[in-house]
Amino acid sequence: MLDSEVLAVGDVACSIAQLAPPLRSPNENDYNSVMHALYGSDFIYGSLVHIAATSRHPNDSNTHNASRQERDAAHMPGTRQDDDPGQLLVKTSSFVHAKMFDKKNEQMCHAELFTTTPSGGFSIAFCSLAARELTAGTLRAPMRRSLLQLHPFSAWFSAEPVNTGVHVVFRARFHRSESDGSCSPKVASARLWRIVKG
């Protein structure tokens, strides 16, 4: 069974210094402001569940003490492996249902890793978390059972400085072959298109 995937590429007339801060959204107010600016009334609300600085050294004690979600996010494609710490966030987001005849709204909890690149740009890697992962250890995400769970999703965003501003690449995928049935392929595909159009 094939995965659903979207890809967007383009140039933004701004600088890395202008683009990076709002996308990092290290607090809940900034996160909600950015998401509402991107998706308007399609976005309902988001919460910041966890934040941590991640070491890029595999032998660092902080890496050994990190949760499984942190270690997984730190090894996502596109992340930088050097002395600069990355920023790991665990967030939730809820959206108005993407399909006209669906009555359930949608929600996702995901790990998000922000890292800088040697060229002066940055990348953000995303990975949705399953419901069973949200009740382990100290991680408690405010997820509602009445909403559709968007999982399993992954995404990668890169921003690199160019002469015309910033070159950006965004790629998102619904891993249909790994789905636990919490989200139908039709709902997932509709959400992917809405995310990339934002």
Distance of alpha carbon 148 from the chain centroid: 17
Distance, in Å, from the CA atom of 162 to the CA atom of 40, rounded to the nearest integer, reads 29
Fold of 4-184: Alpha-D-Glucose-1,6-Bisphosphate; Chain A, domain 4 (3.30.530)
pTM: 0.76
pLDDT at 53: 80
In this structure, how many other beta carbons lie within 10 angstroms of the beta carbon of residue 173? 17
Read off the tokens for 46.
């988001």
pLDDT at 41: 92
Q: Which amino acid is at 95?
A: F
pLDDT at 133: 66
Read off the tokens for 146.
């009445």
Read off the tokens for 109.
């909890």
Q: Is 171 helix (H, G, I), strand (E, B) or coil?
A: strand
pLDDT at 75: 43
Q: pLDDT per residue over 78-124, tens digit each? A: 444 445 568 899 999 999 986 666 678 899 999 999 999 999 999 99
pLDDT at 143: 58
CA angle, 119 then 125 then 127, to 5°: 170
Residues of the chain with pLDDT under 70: 1-2, 55-85, 98-102, 131-146, 198
Distance, in Å, from the CA atom of 176 to the CA atom of 1, rounded to the nearest integer, reads 7
